Homo-oligomer: A and B are copies of this chain.
Amino acid sequence: MAPSKHCVVAFQPLGRRGEVPEGISLLEAARRLGVGLSGVCGGIGVCATCRVIVPPECRDALNPVTPTEEERLSREDLARGVRLACRATIQDSLYVFVPPESLTASQRTQVEGRQTPVRLDPVVRACDLELPPATLSDLRSDGERIRDELGKPVRLDLEVLRSSPLALRDWGWRARAVLREDEIVALLPPGTPLLGVAIDLGTTKLAGYLLNLETGETLAAAGAMNPQLAYGEDVMARITYAMQELEGAQRLRQAAVEGLNGLIRDLCAQAGTFPEWVVDSVVVGNTAMHHLFLGLPTRPLGLAPYVPVESAPMDVRARDAGLILAPGAWVHLLPNIAGFVGADHVAALLAARMDEAAVPTLLLDIGTNTEICLAVEGELFSCSAASGPAFEGAHIRFGMRAAPGAVERVRILEGRVFWETVEGKPPVGICGSGILDAVAELRRAGILNGRGGWRENPSVHRTESGPEFTLVPAEVSGLGRAITISRKDVGEIQLAKGAIAAGWQVLLEEAGIQEEDIGRVVVAGAFGTYIDVRNAVALGLLPRIPLDRFEQVGNIAGTGARMALLSRAERERAARLARRVRYVELTAHPSFRERFARALDLP
């Protein structure tokens, strides 16, 4: 028997490649190479979640398109080379593209936004010093010695003067001076890289990135839960806590600061460096997170008319904010727009280049609060929709975050329920994208009616608290009992998607355009990245326009923060962007209430 032929397969844009035996499916190849390609039905050709795009020059390296694919895929998809990875058999070496929606959740977070396409122009720069030592015939102070060497009248930050003179002597009068404008914010050991951190301080999650400011490279990325969760799930709960509890604000500030410092330590440990060597930082977050982190009063955010204390971009000493960075390092905070549209939204607008949108562009950053922006011919309209935490798994009976074992994708095909869990672990709950899928599929299968009520179905069982749909039977559940969906769960999803839909509809009205005029939709945020856009459109959460107009961009606020970290010009651009946005207060808008009521329905 001749040895079986081996082919090289590459999955782009991930850059994962390797040898696999001829004759296996692309889905199997993906699994062997560690590519998290989705496959809800388990590779039997019914769910159509494992789509990949095969470039023309590689189409001959696969078997011809199968009848199943001709049935499951649209004419347009077939024309642009889409295949179902479970049906495509490898016959020769090739490369394929994996669209983000075909990746499992955990894979996507690893991939998203690794690059930040900006011209490098950080606010700090390094100067390598080699100083003549102090002697009895050269009695200059350390400060003078450094200024003379640099040839300009720089100031040394107090903490640099406190911490560095003895080290400077230990290093043989050599050091890397880090300058920010005319100030030295750090003296580092010779050869230290110039490092910065960009942080997205979310209501629920913290995301941090450690960057080399001389190359633009992201050296490490890390996430963590916001420790403020102990004091309330959403922004309003936290503001109330800060207002009502003695030292509540102080405790919330402390929690945020500790969370960020933990994240910074993680990032540095990953990259083998130290927080004291991190010389610049950018933090973005919504207005309440911004205020709570900085210790600004939140009472004005919690009471009508809900105004921020500060909306301009801020530069704050890291030490004043409580962050453990280089002695004199600063934190830059992007501007806020309104009480409920903050710096994280501005970061998203920056990263999505909303100020340059060539076609009407809608950006949604879906979370407990969903910030929405519509750019039409250079005008920017933004609002905040109170979507609640259902999409983060809260207020759902079996809801959970997108952790291993969370059902993240659901298909109901010919009466059979298929699901896929994070990391393929036995199912223990449902995360946001899973419950969205479930509701959409239940509606498509006719098990839910247009008001969100149950129709007669063998999978809907009566329980003490009302009828429930069994998503995962007890026999296969990792919980030891069935994972079900209740009427109340469906209702939570209706409220959340209703609030968001009413939000973008009001912005369309303000801009004077129609749903079908939208040329591009940027769906951001962790949940936005995991969802099946097809089902989100089906439910009316997203506008009913062709799917190729959607982009799922992951933590775009984090990307914006990284851009601002790498470039002074991007910080200025963000400030201009924030001033250009017209903020629309939804609760005060005349048509919001009616739109919301209508958007509760399941189409």
Contact = CB atoms under 8 A, between A and B. Distances in A.
Interface of A: 134-136, 138-144, 147, 153, 155-156, 158-159, 161-162, 165-166, 169, 294-297, 299-300, 304-312, 314-317, 320-321, 336, 338-339, 583, 585, 588
Contact of A307 (B139, B156, B297): B139
Contact of A296 (B161, B169, B310, B336): B161
B300 A142 contact: yes
Given A136-B585, A320-B158, A144 B312 contact: yes
Contacts of A315: 155
Contacts of A316: 158
A302 to B, nearest CB: 12
Nearest to A142: B309
B156 A310 contact: yes
Main secondary structure of the interface of A (DSSP, over half): mixed
Contact of A312 (B134, B147, B314): B147
B297 A140 contact: no
B139 A583 contact: yes
B161 A310 contact: yes
A165 B583 contact: no
Given A136-B588, A147-B312, A158-B316, A141 B307 contact: yes
Given A165-B297, A588-B136, A141 B314 contact: no
Contacts of A310: 141-143, 156, 161
B307 A162 contact: no
B161 A307 contact: no
B336 A165 contact: no
A130 B35 CA distance: 62
B309 A339 contact: no
B305 A136 contact: yes
A346 B299 CA distance: 48
A166 B321 CA distance: 20
A296 B163 CA distance: 8
A139 B339 contact: yes
Nearest to A587: B136
A300 B134 contact: yes
B162 A296 contact: yes
Contacts of A308: 141-143
B336 A141 contact: yes
Contacts of A153: 312
A143 B309 contact: yes
A247 B422 CA distance: 52
Contact of A165 (B142, B300, B320, B588): B300
19 contacts: A139-B305, A139-B306, A139-B338, A139-B583, A140-B307, A141-B309, A141-B311, A142-B300, A143-B308, A143-B310, A144-B311, A155-B312, A158-B314, A161-B294, A162-B294, A162-B295, A165-B296, A165-B299, A166-B299
10 tightest CB-CB pairs across the interface, nearest first? A141-B311, A143-B310, A141-B308, A136-B305, A134-B307, A165-B309, A165-B297, A142-B309, A162-B295, A158-B316
A540 to B, nearest CB: 29
A151 to B, nearest CB: 15
